Structure 1
Amino acid sequence: MAAYYYFDIKLKLRDPDTVVLTPSLFRNCVLDALDSFFCEEKPTMEIVKFCALQQRVIFRVPEELYEMTRISLELIGHYQETPCHFQILQTSKSTLDFEKDIEKNFVGLPNSED
């Protein structure tokens, strides 16, 4: 059975109104970064959850690509030619769900981390 890592990412854009945030464009941005920084050609990357309004994405990659993906996300500086920052909110070997995290914060429960 293949092992995966999950990333919970918030995209912070300098001017959010100038971009179109879709799962496929986000995925291509990350895959292009992996290719550019590590010459890693089109690895498996599955988007698990996506919310354009919150500018958040949860995706998973094979465990062997965890470190390269984390480093690539920290180095990405543009999304559709708009300056940005990919904030890694959480990583985990188990499934993440930002809607559950929002509910926890809403009722004042502490966040748990892996």
Structure 2
Amino acid sequence: MSGYFYLDVLLKLASEAENPLPVYVKGCIEQSLHRIFGEIGGHTTVDVLKFDEKRHRLILRVPEEFYVKLRAALTLIDKFQGIPCYFHVQSASRVLISLVDTF
């Protein structure tokens, strides 16, 4: 196995001001990890492999041992750049190719 988990995630914003940039989405997720689990517990690598600006969908990659923490951090995010939001995990898998049809 690859040692990673892959997640197909939808970012749902309360208002559509403008299309978010992937770097800001990643920063929002990392900030949530650090806020919830602290500097050591939340320190991991979260990679945005693909980002669809129009539909606000992204494919994330995270090491297996941080999968549960990432899901918790995504669940607890309630604002993106001051706009109320939520992240919805459409699907998750240890194999990236299984997410290709859903994206």
**Do the aligned residues in 1 keep the contact of 2:9 with 2:58 (CA within 8 Å)?**
yes
Q: In the TM superposition, what is the alpha-carbon distance from 1:27 to its structure 2 partner? A: 0.4
Residue matched to 2:22: 23
Greater Rg, structure 1 or structure 2?
1
Q: In the TM superposition, what is the alpha-carbon distance from 1:54 to its structure 2 partner? A: 0.6
Structure 2 Cα separation of the partners of residues 14 and 41 of structure 1: 27
The Cα offsets for residues 17-62 of structure 1, whole Å up to 9 and x where unpaired, read as: 1x54111101000000000001135411111110110100101000
Flag the 1:59–1:21 CA change in 2: closer, same or farther, 3 A.
Answer: same
CA RMSD after TM alignment:
1.6
Gaps of 5+ in 2: none
Which has the higher relative contact order, 1 or 2, with Cα contacts under 8 A spaced 6 or more apart? 2
Structure 2 Cα separation of the partners of residues 53 and 42 of structure 1: 30
TM-score when normalising by structure 1:
0.80
Structure 2 Cα separation of the partners of residues 70 and 38 of structure 1: 12
Aligned counterparts, 1:65-76, within 5 A: 65-76=66-77
Residue matched to 1:49: 50
Q: Which runs of 4+ in 1 moved over 6 A?
A: none
Structure 2 Cα separation of the partners of residues 74 and 32 of structure 1: 13
TM-score when normalising by structure 2:
0.88
Gaps of 5+ in 1: 103-114
DSSP-derived class of the 1:31 partner: helix
The Cα offsets for residues 68-105 of structure 1, whole Å up to 9 and x where unpaired, read as: 000110110000010001011011101023xx326xxx
Q: In the TM superposition, what is the alpha-carbon distance from 1:2 to its structure 2 partner? A: 5.3
Identity across the alignment (%): 32
